[in-house]
Amino acid sequence: MSKREDSNVQVHENDLQQQRLIMDRVREVSETRQEKPQAYVDTYGCQQNEADSEKLRGMLVEMGYDITYDENEADVAIVNTCAIRENAENRVLGNIGALTHTKKANPNQLVVFCGCLAAVPESVEKIEQSYKHVGLIFPPSKIWKFPELLLRALIEKKRIFESDSDEGMIAEGLPTHRDGTVKAWLTIMNGCNNFCSYCIVPYVRGRERSRSVDAILEEACSLVALGYKDITLLGQNVNSFAGGENDFANLLRQINEIEGDFLIRFMTSHPKDASRELFKAMSECEKVAHHIHLPFQAGNDRILKLMNRGYTQEEYLEKIAIAREFIPDIVITSDVIVGYPGETEEEFNDTLELVEKAQFEAMFTFLYSKRPGTAAAKLHDDVSREEKQVRFQKLVDLQNEISERKHEEYIGEVVRVLVDGEAKDAEYPLKARTNGGRLVHLTGEPSLVGNFVEAKISHCNNWSLFGDS
């Protein structure tokens, strides 16, 4: 990335230094307390939000807080929200509502509302009017300012509303408190420029901003040194990454050069930028997992155009044919939306056709949800909810059949998996992932967590595999 671009997208070092000084100040106050203050962070939405929550926890730990998973104990209770669909929004609001009880029991509790919904004016207004127990609101673009906002909320004893006044910038060097010891998220870019007509993300996350290759490589190296075995590069469209002369394929090649036994994953990729060069790099980099999550959203060309996706069904299928040509065992997963305004039965049948042709390992099916401010929100919709539900079920049934068939191909095979955690299941106490990212319920000792092992697959369902270590 050139110097000029750098200074445009990076939060200035002086501003970050100020936040560090505030963190020191808050920690000094925390340390004078008899009991350590407790912070609770509840996360909704995608991995990007998970990664942001790890930064919030990192800053809280830096400020002398202990992390609790019980909101009743919390001095600071944070809800990091998602705005992608209405039901996500309703769930968040339900849980924010429930915090009135914890706040009543502990009037000093600070309830914080952040994440993507905090960048939607209608939602902020709702919180302002009807959720008076919320004491601090800030959008995703202001995460780096959290220490200052927290301090103000604590000492000013009034509600603080930070608005989305800029495009969202890259802040390097924020402390991170990671949840796991095996898998780590590594954000490589923020925001989205695509404005798919149904989607709220570009409005709440701002324009695409890529981190510098150097900063990414430094973080990747430190994750490997810390023993992480599975590193997932994150961005709304990771493959649109633009770090100066380096495109995403190039970045993969450079991370692949880091010494160590680890896997590189990435999500999400946009079909329009899924280039031959990307699949070539994937095939040549031995640490890059053989998996791509490549949402197609719809199978009909008119709907794809209305959605502003930038490809046709044929072009999408061509991309995945190229992927399979370079990487014959690649696992391809996808997202699809059912019930885009005005989508006819015939047009929906094109989605079924694409799914039949593509043969995804797994697919996330979503019912279209109208989002305020998006282009599609203005469209007339004459398809009933019942009809959409019928189509939704048809699609889920078709994909389940395909997933199960694909999973059956693993039975009897011995595959290398990474054991990434324990499960509360007496028979299969371990969780693992194949190189292609399929979930394996595994027999074996807890000491295997964090290791690559050979697993013999015994049976499956449409979502996961079962095996013996």
Interaction site with ligand F3S (CB under 6 A): 45-46, 48-49, 82-84, 116, 201, 204-205
10 binds ligand SAH (CB under 6 A): no
Pairing of strands 76-81, 331-338: unpaired
Report the residue from 22, 51, 189, 201 that binds ligand SF4 according to the rule CB under 6 A: 201
Tokens standing for 285? 């980099």
Residue from 257, 263, 261, 216 nearest 235 by CA:
216
Site size for ligand SF4 (CB under 6 A): 10
Residues 6+ apart with CB under 8 A from 314: none
List the x/- string, 269-308, binding to ligand SAH by CB under 6 A: -x------------------------x-x-----------
Q: Are residues 352 and 312 in contact, defined by beta-carbon separation less than 8 angstroms?
A: no
Nearer to ligand F3S, 38 or 80 (CB): 80
Q: By beta-carbon distance, which residue lies closest to ligand F3S?
A: 45
> Does 195 participate in binding ligand SF4 (rule CB under 6 A)?
yes
Strands (E), 251-373: 263-267, 291-293, 331-338, 362-367
β-partners of residue 354 are none
190 near ligand SAH (CB under 6 A): no
Task: Lay out the site mask for ligand SAH across 216-245 (x = CB under 6 A, - = otherwise).
Answer: --------------------xx--------
Q: CB within 8 A of 464, min separation 6: which ones?
A: 407, 438, 439, 440, 441
Residue 295: which region, alpha, beta or left (left: phi > 0; alpha: psi -120 to 50)? beta
Binding residues for ligand SAH, rule CB under 6 A, total 17
- Minimum distance from CB of 237 to ligand SF4 (Å)? 5
Residue with Cβ nearer ligand SF4 (74 or 354): 354
Question: Is 182 a binder of ligand SF4 (CB under 6 A)?
Answer: no
Kindly state whether residue 49 participates in binding ligand SF4, applying the rule CB under 6 A: no
How far is Cα 389 from Cα 281, in angstroms, rounded to an integer?
40
Question: Closer to ligand SF4 at the Cβ: 85 or 291?
Answer: 85
Among 10, 68, 80, 194, binds ligand SF4 (CB under 6 A): 194
Please give the structure tokens belonging to residue 300: 């009909």
By CB under 6 A, residue 290 contacts ligand SF4: no
For residues 181 and 345, what is the distance between their CA atoms, to the nearest angstrom? 47
The one-letter code for the residue type at 343 is E
Contact 237, 268 (CB under 8 A): yes
Interacting span for ligand SF4 (CB under 6 A) from 15-23, 28-36, 137-145, 194-202 = 194-202
DSSP 8-state code for residue 288: B
Say whether residue 306 binds ligand SF4 (CB under 6 A).
no
Report the run of H or E that residue 204 belongs to, with start and end. helix 201-205
45 binds, among ligand F3S, ligand SAH, ligand SF4, none (CB under 5 to 8 A by kind): ligand F3S
Token couple for 82:
């998602």
CB atoms within 10 A of CB 70: 10
- Tokens 């009743």 — which residue? 72
CA dist., res. 458 & res. 148, Å (int): 53
Q: Which stretch binds ligand SAH (CB under 6 A): 166-174, 362-370, 424-432, 440-448?
A: 362-370
3-state secondary structure of 317: helix
> Whole-number minimum distance, CB 415 to ligand SF4, in Å?
31
> Cβ of residue 270: shortest distance to ligand SAH, in angstroms?
6
Q: Which residues of the chain form contacts with ligand SAH (CB under 6 A)? A: 84-85, 198-199, 201, 236-237, 268, 270, 295, 297, 335, 337, 366, 368-369, 371
Contacts with ligand SF4, residue ranges (CB under 6 A): 192, 194-196, 199, 201-202, 236-237, 270
